[in-house]
Amino acid sequence: MQYFTQAFAAKMPHPDKYDMLMDIATEELSHLEIVGATIQMLLKGVNGELKDAADQSEIMQAMEGSDARESLIHQALKANP
């Protein structure tokens, strides 16, 4: 929000700085959107295709502590002697 404030203060005396600050402010708003979406996913949980893909991945199975962890470690050691 500070970039917006600075941009409006610089609008009349420095129009080139106004454009730059507004571009930065717009970019910062997109970051807030990503943060908000991430928080929403954490609060509600992930569902749909993303959840299905994560559940089927080897790394998620290994993180859950199943036998896949041992298998993944052994495969990695065989691939990189």
Binding residues: 19, 23, 28, 31
Which residues are annotated as part of the binding site for Mn(2+)?
28, 31
**What's the rounded Cα separation, in Å, for the pair 26 and 21?**
9
Distance of CA 12 to the CA centre of its chain: 36
35-53 in b/e form (b: 16+ CB < 10 A) is eeeeeeeeeeeeeeeeeee
Which residues are annotated as part of the binding site for Ca(2+)?
19, 23
